[in-house]
Amino acid sequence: MTDPFQPRHPDITEQMWEKIDAVIHMNRNKKGSVITVLRECQTVVGYLPVELMNHIAKNLHLSSSEVFGVASFYSLFSFVPKGRHTVKVCLGTACYVKGIKEVVSRISYEYKIKEGETTGDRRFSMEGVRCLGACGLAPVMVVDHDTHGAISADKVITILERYK
Amino acid sequence: MLCGGTGCHSTGSRALKQALNEELIRKGLGDEIRVIETGCNGFCAVGPVMLIQPEGVFYQRLKVEDIPELVDQHFLKGKLLTQRLYVDPAKKKVIPLMKEIPFFSNQMFWVMRNKGVINPEVIDEYIGRGGYFAAAKALKEMTPEGIISEVKLSGLRGRGGAGFPTGLKWEFAGKSPGDVKYVLCNADEGDPGAFMDRSILEADPHAVLEGMVIAAKAINSHQGYIYCRTEYPLAIHRLEIAIRQARDYGLLGNDILGSKFDFDIEIYQGAGAFVCGEETALMRSIEGKRGMPRPRPPFPAHKGLWEKPTILNNVETFANVAQIIANGGKWYSSVGTETSKGTKVFAISGDVNNIGLVEVPMGTTLRTLIFDIGGGIPDKKKFKAVQLGGPSGGCVPAQYLDTPVDYEEIAKIGAIMGSGGVIVMDENTCMVDMARFFMDFIQDESCGKCTPCREGTRRILEILKRICDGNGNPEDIETLEALSATIKEASLCGLGQTGPNPVLSTLRYFREEYLAHIHEKRCPAKRCVPLLKFEVDAEACKKCGLCFKSCPAEAISWKKKETAVIDKSKCIKCMTCFEKCKYDAIF
């Protein structure tokens, strides 16, 4: 069913390709499914290499530029590999008022990364995200799947040191 | 009734639930007392929270260690666990009953009538509270025209922000010719500081589904979509469960309740683009394209999703519909002001004691909202402004606190009702920095289609950054005003048309702060780092040593009974000492 000339990529294993093809197959006949496909493929691989997007385009009968156009529009999609742990700092208004700026500058100082960057050892990626809707806990940081509320510049490093 | 909203989850309510269940079984109470995980209770600030029924006792800030004592005291001995009850911060009085806590007693629960009372993952509990009766009435006894006239009579207006009359919108779509029509629910709640829709979806997802079924009947649509932002995993999870259960009960799908009417709903996850909250952009996104707005007309009521007639309403709007049908439009319009009827849900956050979700009748003043329900400003600080309506809204200063919550009245003071984010700011907030923050957001989220919005917001941001860095020029204010006017005038969609509002409203009410930054190179609120000297005022310093103890870079030297000194070569400008100093002695 899928492309016999399956591309290769160092970050995508054989099992990953199988999952990717299953996702594409499920959504092939649905109108407007490209965002869903991109999301699920990114969950499998961790990010979206160009080879993967070309593969999706070919199998959904879209042009590569259409797929890239959609992927580059939405902030969920990433074209570069991420660190082992994703640190999402909330840049919503409530967190801003409650001092997330100081938290971010402390993380930057300690791990030598800026927003949107990954540490040299691929341990942390720091992302600034828009309101997480947990304003009651402001300022908020999400590491992988754990939400940490009411953090401060003082506490943040202690929390992050738990993630190796 | 243990709260299982996102807020309480992250403060540990899941572990609490397990511990409580185990302890109840251990004490032989497993059959008598049932632990129910509810949706967001609303009082997120004091989470994890628990309500014990039928007594109505409200416990807060619970920890796993409290559970054995709680079970022993409350359930076995019939006493209250005093240390976990709510204490009124002003009067230092313990208030055990939820309904007597000012945060709750000033509210009116219509949209959120089921929050914290039912388990959102069990459809029977929703039906037990009268759920789906309105849908049955609409499907079996009412005509589409009858539904629309009832909604029009209620005076319900769009709760997403713009306030367009809901009944009118449905009437347009109902009259549009075509067999295929769509009902869309906008759950792409993107305004920073707004979490009403998330909480409604987490606490009472069926209310939204029921509203959509009624809307479908009104315009004769057979397919609905809920466009939910991907940042809300719990809301999506509960919606999936709700849709599955509704299908099993024959409340969605073919021939609903034997009425020969077909309607089904699918969830569509967003992918992180603020502009997709705009209706035409949202539709493009469901079509799998870049979420860019398009010019109107044609309006979505004529040509919307896949070029078919479509209505799009916000989560809260749909959550109102079932009760309007059940109780009548006249009942609904009995509450509120001349032009704004019913209730409105607000998410209160920022520098305020009772952060959380509240629902008040239209016409309630901002003062009641912030001081009676919100409990005022913490740490004895002064109120400075309240930001309404997110990035499209404006900052309202203290002299307008008696303005009632009403679409028109709020517009008069330079803000908008918006979706319901209320961010309270105390005296330590710099308004120029705030404007810069919102412009950073707007500039980043501008989709790039219209030049005035794409380029103009970037220029505004550059100017604001320059002012915050201490490099502002006297002519900057004029330039900001001119740019703002052009962007508002020449942009296609709501994002650009309202984007400069935070700049304009801060210029209107806090112009002197801009002037202090530009002319005196001074930030009155002490937030703009480049304008701070990082020196200690010897007269104000009380020699307490707090700054010395908290400095992470060891840049502060201090001995007992001596004024602290900051070594600027070691200082990393992290602002920790500013936060710690109680005497405002560092400048």
pLDDT digits (tens, 9 = 90+) for B449-496: 999 999 999 999 999 999 999 999 999 999 999 999 999 999 999 999
Q: Is the pLDDT of residue B435 over 70?
A: yes
B351/B330 Cα distance (integer angstroms) = 38
Instruction: Tell me the pLDDT tens digit for each residue of A14-46.
Output: 999 999 999 999 998 888 899 999 999 999 998
* Residue A6 banded pLDDT, cuts 50, 70, 90: low
- B574 to A129: CB separation less than 8 angstroms, yes or no: no
- Give the whole-angstrom CA distance, residue B586 versus residue B539: 11
The pLDDT of residue B230 is above 90:
no
Task: Report how many Cβ contacts below 8 Å link chain A to chain B.
Answer: 148
pLDDT tens, residue by residue, B524-549? 999 898 999 899 998 888 888 888 98
Query: What's the rounded Cα separation, in Å, for the pair B292 and B275?
Result: 7
SS3 (DSSP) at A125: strand
pLDDT of residue A2: 52
Residue B413 pLDDT > 80: yes
Q: Tell me which of A135, A137, A141, A161 to substitute to probe the interface with B (most B C-beta atoms closer than 10 Å).
A: A135
Instruction: Name the residue of chain A whose CA is nearest to B447's CA.
Output: A73
What pLDDT score was predicted for residue A132? 76
Q: What is the pTM of this model?
A: 0.90
Interface of chain A toward chain B, CB-CB under 8 angstroms: 31-36, 38-39, 69-70, 73-77, 91-94, 96-99, 102, 105-106, 109, 129-138, 146-149, 152-154
When pLDDT is averaged across residues B408-421 and rounded to a whole number, the result is 90
The 10s digit of each residue's pLDDT in B316-332 is: 999 999 999 999 999 99
The tens digit of pLDDT for each residue in A121-145 reads 889 999 888 777 777 788 989 898 8
What pLDDT is attached to residue A3? Answer: 53
Phi-psi category of residue B122: left, alpha or beta, with phi > 0 → left and psi -120 to 50 → alpha:
beta
Report the distance separating Cα B574 and Cα B587, nearest Å. Answer: 13
Q: Which of B136, B165, B162, B131 is nearest to B148 (CA)?
A: B165
DSSP assignment string, B269-336: E--S-GGGGSHHHHHHHHTTS------SSSPTTTS-GGGS-EEEEEHHHHHHHHHHHHH-HHHHHTSB
Q: Are B352 and B103 in contact (CB under 8 A)?
A: no
- What's the whole-number average pLDDT of chain B? 92
Confidence grade of residue B125 (pLDDT, cut at 50, 70, 90): very high
pLDDT of residue B40: 82
- What is the predicted pLDDT for the residue at B7? 79
Cα B342 to Cα B149: distance, rounded to the nearest angstrom: 17
| Long-range contacts, B168-175 (Cβ 8 Å, 24+) | B169/B301, B169/B311, B169/B313, B170/B215, B170/B218, B170/B219, B170/B311, B172/B299, B172/B301, B172/B302, B173/B219, B173/B300, B173/B301, B173/B309, B173/B310, B173/B311, B174/B144, B174/B145, B174/B148, B174/B218, B174/B219, B174/B220
- Give the pLDDT score at B228: 95
User: Given an 8 Å threshold on Cβ–Cβ distance, is B355 in contact with A38?
Assistant: no
Q: Are the CB atoms for A89 and A107 separated by under 8 Å?
A: yes
